[in-house]
Amino acid sequence: MLGLNGTYFQPDTLQLTGIPGMQTGHAWVALIFCILYLISIIGNLSILTLVVLESALHQPMYYFLSMLSLNDLGVSFSTLPTVLATFCFSYRHIDFNVCLVQMFFIHTFSFMESGILLAMSFDRFVAICDPLRYATVLTNSRILAMGLGILAKSFTTLFPFPFLVKRLPFCKGNVLHHSYCLHPDLMKVACGDIHVNNIYGLFVVIFTYGIDSTFILLSYALILRAVLVITSQEQRLKALNTCMSHICAVLVFYVPIIAVSMIHRFWKSAPPVVHVMMSNVYLFVPPMLNPIIYSVKTKEIRRGIFKVFYKSQI
């Protein structure tokens, strides 16, 4: 955008987009998003409440699950204000600086989720490969240190992003392609030299998603090797079953990321609605499905839900 003296400047506000090409049906889309938010918020709050109230769930596995639920709430609340404003109230403008803050929190919580999933895979590795030392390795202080380490890593690696965007002029309009602010979306309307942003963005992705996913795969390779040594088939299945919830959570998180990357890399002519829908899946589906997955696949969580429900009926 051009200023009065012919120089490029940053707009006071940016315009958000709902779903490209959708002129009607926003009421139905708003309803769908509201349902997704309700399931995500109620489900994750329920997990947190159960872990706090049920003494049987005061174990490392469920402390990590609490971190995941807390982080998923962060993802949901980061996008909720602008998504609801866009689809429910047709208010599509966001202050430029507020957009940068939202971008920072969305990406920070997304990268934290990757770190938490890695910590949960370490929990499963110790539980299966070295069960006798499980309680001594995963003490409360170490779990707290791991959680703070994940937070510090995500915060420090993402902290430069708003400032890297802030330095850029904007000459390609002020219309973004989502109902929330993402770094790649801002780069599409920015001018000047964006190589630093792109290179640092690639570094952050490799430093987080790349390293975390590699160690998750390594932990499961070691788990599989340890399980195959077990002679009893029943014990093998029991050991693997304790990992199923986490495996599903990993797939729910990483499959959309891989899909978005593949579309961006190999299908550059894809309609904008494809990119928008895949980004929505990446941000909205994991926080919604994670509490459902753990409620269905984890016996202790189900037992806690039934116990609370039974008490409420008395």
Locate the domains of the chain by residue range: 13-312
Whole-number Å distance between alpha carbons of 72 and 49: 15
Listed in sequence order, the DSSP H helices in the chain are 26-53, 60-88, 96-129, 134-137, 140-158, 160-166, 183-189, 195-205, 211-229, 233-241, 244-266, 272-297, 299-313
pLDDT of res. 265: 65
Q: Yes or no: say if 73 and 148 are a contact pair by the CB < 8 Å rule.
A: no
pLDDT of res. 4: 44
pLDDT of res. 310: 66
Six token digits for residue 298:
């984890």
pLDDT of res. 8: 55
User: CB-based contacts of 102: which residues, under 8 Å, 6+ apart?
Assistant: 78, 79, 81, 82, 94, 180, 181
SS3 2: strand
Give me the CATH topology for the region 13-312.
Answer: Rhopdopsin 7-helix transmembrane proteins (1.20.1070)
What parts of the chain have a pLDDT lower than 70?
1-9, 20-26, 264-269, 308-314
pLDDT of res. 191: 83
pLDDT of res. 90: 81
pLDDT of res. 47: 93
Whole-number Å distance between alpha carbons of 261 and 269: 14
pLDDT of res. 268: 62
pLDDT of res. 24: 60
Six token digits for residue 175:
């219309």
pLDDT of res. 20: 66
pLDDT of res. 76: 94
Q: Yes or no: say if 17 and 26 are a contact pair by the CB < 8 Å rule.
A: no
Number of neighbouring beta carbons within 10 Å of residue 79:
24
Amino acid letter, residue 273: V
